[in-house]
Structure 1
Amino acid sequence: MTRLLIVSSSRADLGGLSAVWRQTSGHPELETQVLLTGRHANRSTDYDAAIACLPAGIPVHVAGNDIGGRDAETAARAMGDSVTAIAGQLAEIAPDLLLVLGDRLDIAPAVFAAVPFNIPVAHIHGGELTLGAVDDRVRHAVSKLAHVHFASTTDAAERLCKMGEEPWRIHVTGAPGLDSLRQQNLVERRAFLASVGLPNEPFLLVTVHPETNVEKPLAAFEAVIEAIKQLGIQVLATAANADLNGALINESLQALSKVNSRVVYCDTLGAARYANAFAHAEAMLGNSSSGIIEAGMFGLPVVDVGGRQQGRARGANVAHVDADVKMVKAAVESALGRRFNPDEVSLYGDGHAGQRIAQELMRLPAKARLLLKDFHHGGARFSAPWTIQESLIA
């Protein structure tokens, strides 16, 4: 039996990881355990959200620190402390395989801690680009430390191969974050808006994170806030992540919501309300990866501001603008009243990635072969399984 340790660092990865642990929990060939770190470590609402979506009886461990969302020194110290704390957990749990998702600073300590233990690492969402964030470098670093890859698109898979990863290690599965959203029940707009404290009127879904690879990390946020004030449409805003300056964004949004009744701030919506937000919003505004990856499944227009998501594959529903108030306002006005065909703009799969990932986890080669990484010279071609008839999802 393979002891699988799935690592989550915040609410941002819960949708994708929960799609996997729903499939692996209780499987006779896999012993699934979960390690909560990063924003979960301070027992915040992120931790509560994780506990709420975990299968009953699954072993849960907590280790590490929240990187803070404020300054570089706090983040760097928290990352170092997290490596130490997670190392202790790895020594105790003795996993056969570590599974991580994405590109966050607070997921890196878990991967670094696993290296001396020679624990194989499986990585979801490698091979993508987000040039406006340090996440881009973190993601590539994790990919090179990983031994098996679950790519969300064929472009990402081919990029991993160009990075020297051997083709047999790379599996195109789609983005597992779509799985959880696809399974949610949709309610009428009136009922959904009442649940978040807004009247039954058109609204924007807003999520803005700092840009961490530029000189002015809050430029996109400042442009979005000013555009919101000028547009006058009501807003449902969710929290920024734990990146440097993320706390400042959240404090600003909270302050705005207290003086403007047409702005509601929610730290996290959870899968059910997030799916309904996608289904009922007029448009999504900001620079979140969910606007690029998940929104297309609902045909939702997205205005992507600034360079944080630069390089990431996107559908025709996503309009990119610079961090300029006039451009943001014009793009939102153009998006209002539009909807797109999800089959044409959703590039990241069909909502069955969790099943594909679980299936590949159960047929991995022996540890000795996983650990012996060679450098692949050249490329390879990959196909998207959701374009092929699969008995898996029949």
Structure 2
Amino acid sequence: MSQPVKLAVVTGTRAEYGLLRPVIQNLMACPEAELSVLVTGAHLAPEYGNTVAEIEADGVPVAARIPILAPGESGPLATAGAVERTIHGFVRWFAENRPACVLVLGDRYEIFAVAQAAAFAGVPVAHISGGDVTLGAADDWYRHCITKIAHLHFPSCDESARRVIQMGEQPATVFNVGGLGDENIRTMTLLGLDELSQSIGFDLTRPYGLVTFHPETAGGADPAAQSDALLAAMDAVSAATGLHWLVTKANADAGGLIINEELDRWAAAHPDTVAVRTSLGVVRYLSAMKGAAVVLGNSSSGVVETPTFGVPTVNVGDRQKGRPICENVIGCPADESAIEAALHKALSPAFRTTARKARSPYNGGNTSEKIVEILLREVRRPGFGAPKTFYEGELPK
């Protein structure tokens, strides 16, 4: 039997780990893989919930913790500083440990920096969820840069796979495997509302909305003004309908701490109708999504994962602009009156009927198993990781 392949998987946020979780579990169970899970970013920051504990609670050994966030930093300089620390820390780890490939997911700045570090160290990159478009976030260009570094691509739908090839990637390296979020929803054992309420410490047997709102990092939007508009609209809808709110805090993007401070003040003023949590973890988050009367905000989960449940969703602003939008999603500007109107529409019986008909474009079957199988096969191919050539042939129809 051949030696196990040394592979690294990197995770920096709660949402990303929730998607990578089945891939990591399959790699851990595979005798052909020698896996190192590298943890960084918001996972290691108290202000974002120290969510590395969720990884360890799943029984996942953490091979390295590489902290990159500096307390007190904010804005573009904080992002640049985190990128600098990421490159420095990960180049050292890759140089010392020499994995055959590093697997990354998505489009955040720390993952962009990890991909750069791997390239500097001569370690090939495999990339999940390339080819997506999110015009309201700097993640859009981070993602495309990662695509050009990566040797192996796992886009989540046909449209994204085509874009990866349009960027000059060889079709033989592009595998449309479907979405990991969709797989989680179809395969994970979720909690009922009574159990979820007890776990969170907030009564979710009453109608509630699930909310996640991140900064728009492209276009110059003001996170404080946008969150003010969001919270005012939520107050108005609660007054009219009695709806309660379960809110997960913003991520570590520039402006996220501003939003989170606003959320804490708002929750303190509404203790009976609002629960704000730093992180729910993937099981509780998807359980809450399943039971929600409406999902609100600008998280990718609102447009990528809610169609599988058929839950009414209001997508606010431009952060997710460019992604496929299904029938269950209403888009609106980050304006109080527009958000309020969209929420009332989403809560209507007629729209709930429409939302149930949504069909996700991300259903790829056993996505995590496909990724592991293809990754192990391709990494063993002679010449894997050699300099890439630009594809200039026909595009898939």
TM-score, scaled relative to structure 2: 0.90
Indicate the larger mover: 339-348 or 121-130. Answer: 339-348
Matched letter for residue 278 of structure 1: M
SS at match of 2:315: strand
Residue 239 (str. 1) matches residue 243 (str. 2): no
Deviation by residue 1:273-326 (Cα, 9 ceiling, x = unmatched): 112111110011110000011111111111001100000112111111111211
Matches within 5 A, 1:130-279: 130-199=134-203, 200-218=205-223, 219-232=225-238, 233-261=243-271, 262-279=273-290
Q: Which amino acid aligns with 1:346?
A: S
Q: Which secondary structure state, in structure 1, belongs to the residue aligned with residue 154 of structure 2?
A: strand
Match of 1:366, as an amino acid?
A: R
**2:36 alignment partner, SS class:** strand
Structure 1 pair 99–340 and aligned structure 2 pair: CA distance change class (3 A): farther
Aligned 1:60-79 pairs, distance under 5 A:
60-66=63-69, 70-79=74-83
Written as runs of structure 1 = structure 2, the 5 A alignment for 1:91-102 is 91-102=95-106
Instruction: Give 1:179 deviation, angstroms.
Output: 2.8
What is the rounded CA distance, in whole Å, between the counterparts of 1:202 and 1:4 in structure 2?
Answer: 44
Identical residues among aligned pairs (%): 34
Measured against aligned partners, the alpha-carbon deviations of 1:355-392 in whole angstroms (never above 9, x if no partner) come to: 1111111210536243231111144327xxxxxxxxxx
Paired residue secondary structure (1:304)? strand
Greater displacement, 312-321 / 338-347: 338-347
Aligned to 1:391: none
> What residue is the counterpart of 2:300 in the other structure?
289
Query: Is residue 332 from structure 1 mapped to residue 336 from structure 2 by the alignment?
Result: no
Figure out how many residues of one structure are paired with residues of the other and give that number: 380
Residue among 371, 375, 388 paired with 1:373: 388
| Counterpart Cα distance in 2 of 1:288 and 1:340 | 21
Work out the CA distance in 1 between the residues paired with 2:107 and 2:214: 14
| CA spacing shift, 1:137–1:217, aligned 2, 3 Å | farther
What is the letter of the counterpart of residue 159 of structure 1?
R
Q: In structure 2, what residue type is equivalent to 1:315?
A: C
Which residue of the partner structure matches residue 115 of structure 1? Answer: 119
Larger deviation, residues 131-140 vs 67-76: 67-76
How much has 1:45 moved relative to structure 2? 2.4
CA contact (8 A) 2:155 2:174 kept: yes
RMSD (CA atoms): 2.0
How big is the shift at 1:231? 0.8
SS of alignment partner, residue 165 of structure 1: coil
Distance in 2 between the 1:187 and 1:12 partners? 18
Residues 132 and 213, structure 1, Cα contact 8 Å, conserved in 2: yes
Counterpart of 1:325, as a letter, is E
**Structure 1 CA distance, aligned partners of 2:55 and 2:394?**
38
Aligned to 1:392: none
Q: CA deviation at 1:84?
A: 1.0
Shift of 1:54: 4.3
Distance 2:345 2:112 in 1: 39
Q: Is the 8 A contact 1:40 1:66 kept in 2?
A: no
Provide Cα deviations, 1:21-63, integer angstroms capped at 9, x if missing partner: 11111312211111111112346422112222344xx452111
TM-score by length of 1: 0.91
Aligned letter for 2:5? T
Contact 1:38 1:107 in 2 (8 A): no
Q: Which residue, 28, 47, 50 being the options, matches 2:55?
A: 50
CA deviations over 1:194-240 (Å, ceiling 9, x no partner): 43233321101010000010122324423211101111121000011
Q: For structure 1, which runs of at least 5 residues remain unmatched after alignment?
A: 383-394
Compared CA separation, residues 252 and 263, structure 1 to 2 (3 A) = same
Partner AA of 1:27 in structure 2 = C
User: Following the alignment from structure 1 to structure 2, what is the Cα–Cα distance between the partners of residues 67 and 19?
Assistant: 30
> Which amino acid is 2:229 matched to?
A
Q: What is the letter of the counterpart of residue 318 of structure 2?
A: G
Read off the aligned partner of 1:167 and give its amino acid letter: P
